[in-house]
Chain A
Amino acid sequence: MKILVIIKQTFDTEAQIQLQDGRIQGEGVKKILNPYDEYAVEEAVQLKEKNGGEVIALGIGDAEFDGTLRHVLAMGCDRAVVLDDPALLSADARGQAAALAAAIRPLEPELLLCGYTMIDCGDGEVNIRLAELLGLGQVMAVSRLELEDGQVTAASEQEGGQLVASGRLPLLIGVDKGINEPRYPGMKSIMQGRKKAKAVRHLSLADLGLSPEELQPVCRIQETFLPARRSAGTVLTGEAPEMARRLAELLHGEAKVI
């Protein structure tokens, strides 16, 4: 079975956001594989180990992406394809989805896996657009995935419970935390990852048969700003029953929230 995992690099979750010239400053910030994508990579590799086949990682990135690529290859992806073009890094979700779709069509994967959300933009827009462009069904926020003879059963986390969907491949599955425990590659895997990283395929827009005009963004950022800093308020000290009584009073009388 041919499994494609779509990966993205994001800032580390502990990173502070700073602005420079009105934009988010990324230089020197520690970058990681989007945490939800890590679950997708693990799921893909486990499926391959069980059913055989091949796992291909696909993402948009520049030279900074190399560390993340080595990591997913060490985790067990067989090869990687990178869409590496300046026009893509400035494209919006619509443009990025169009480019990924163009790269995926000739690969003809049976299963597409991704993280159901990205911790930078806080959504899964690119990959969901991709599913629509490729005419695929999708199940997102998947916490349990079963696959048998091309038949997929996936449990999706929804408000108030789980929705269990079933369908036939090909499908896009966006995974949630909790679906598995991503492995920590050992030294041997890391060495294999480095070796596989030398064979990473880099594709430009021209390679995909797309022009920069087709990727003109429809979505433009007018302003980037940091939230107003909260300041420390009233701190209560003393005996527990007295503090609890005063807090309840403040919440009721001053804040008026209870």
Chain B
Amino acid sequence: MSLPPSSDPGADNSLEALWERVSQSAQGEVVLDQLVDALMRATIEYAGAERGLLVLPRREEYWIEAEARTGGGIVSVNIPKSRVTAADLPESVLLHAVRTKDSVVLPDAVDAHPFSADEYLRARNPRSILCLPLLKQSGLIGIIYLENHLTSSTLAPARIAVIKLLATEAAMVLENVHLYSDIRDRDTKTRRIIDSALDAVLSIDERGRVTEWNAQAETMFGWRRDEAVGRALSELFIPDRYRDAHEKGLRHFLNTGEGPLLNRRIEITALHRHGTEFPVEVSIAPYQIDGNWEFSGFVRDITEKKLAEAATRRHREIESELAHANRAATMGQLSASIAHEVNQPIGAAVTNAHAALRWLGATPPNVDEVRQALTRIVTNGNRAADVLSRIRAFIKKAPPRKDGLDLNEAVLEVIALTRSEAKKNKVAVQMHLAEGLPAVQGDRVQLQQVVLNLIINAIEAMSASDPGSRRLLISSSQSHSNDVSVEVQDSGPGFPEASAEKIFQAFYTTKPAGLGMGLSICRSIVEAHGGQLRASVADPTGAIFAFTLPVRPNGAF
């Protein structure tokens, strides 16, 4: 703030002291209210007014910043900081001053004037008024309103000019102070946001020194803000072995503008003050202030996420091991009927070979019969190989695959695999497979394992039933909700309605030699495919195991 020019002809010497008071109170610690107080006192005394208002625009509205009154030779100033109303001043005068940016001077308001209709003037009837717009580069920064009830104004134009100058300077200070406090408010707000962030938020300058360090960063890395700010970031939480790389990366960016790790999430290892290392996810963004680069960083501790991921991975591994073990065990159970299935074509091949030898040994040799027998041997051999490869494919520990899968085809393969087991147990197998089922997305081997377990269970469940009544019904269908379901129904004794859920629990078994893992594994396989596996009691007797799988929209895989 500068002193009014001494060359001003209207400058009053006594004003200098007055100005001093105003400007001094604006120095150092800015105490807004003191400044306003001084300004108002000075103005009202200098102008000889009874009442004075300082009005400032605030977000499209006008606020009374201060009000000064003289009474009994004492000037009192109060700082209402309230919105201007028609009870405070003549609004029409104020609006005119605002609009035209011209002063309104009514030396004797008793005379006729353009504002005589104003509500305030009619009610209060002041003798003289002065309304001064305070301008800065033609922008309105405030208004001084002065009034006198007793006498008409004796204010000379030079005095008005001085008041205007004084008030304008003061309004500028006020404006700056407001801006400053706005910035401070915003800064406080930003600070609070940053401190309440769940991530550690920090920034560094071009030399890698910390310029910002929030509360989370303090907790996460064990360094207080006042310890961290000004120190090299690499000393604070970057493990020794990565420090070079960090510094090189920073230099490389400053030299070339290339930062492959910038502006995206990266996972790195961070170091706590106490020496423990932990995984974090970091995103770093560069920005420029006054031509210098700074880098803001958001750091998230992902220790728990990593642990959870590892646990999930382990869980999946165990599940897959169990599923594989179960598959192998189920196939072991089937070994008798598999042996039968393989023995059948081998027996036929051996018999055909015997026949061929006999036809060859006849006189004359019957070449045609030999050829036919050999042709049959080829077919028999291939059939045996097919059975074996089907079993191998099933037992193989293949990683889960999500393919578009024809469920009927998968079910038919399992039925083929269990045909001799059913036959051995005198079980009549019926199929009702719905035609034109949409493909499901899933792992063939896993889903076949489910079907296999359900079929083997069903066959076993009927082992005590009358051989003539052992019926196994395998059906597939599509529900209205677009799910595909497969049902395996037996005619065995069923199970008590109450244990419909219990049978899916791990280690629950009704079989003397059972481990109780089969159905529990089946359920987790089906659920991993987004489906459901349920058991119900059949009418009149038996159990129904049904699983449903969601159908993905066309072309989803």
Q: Is A bound to B?
A: no
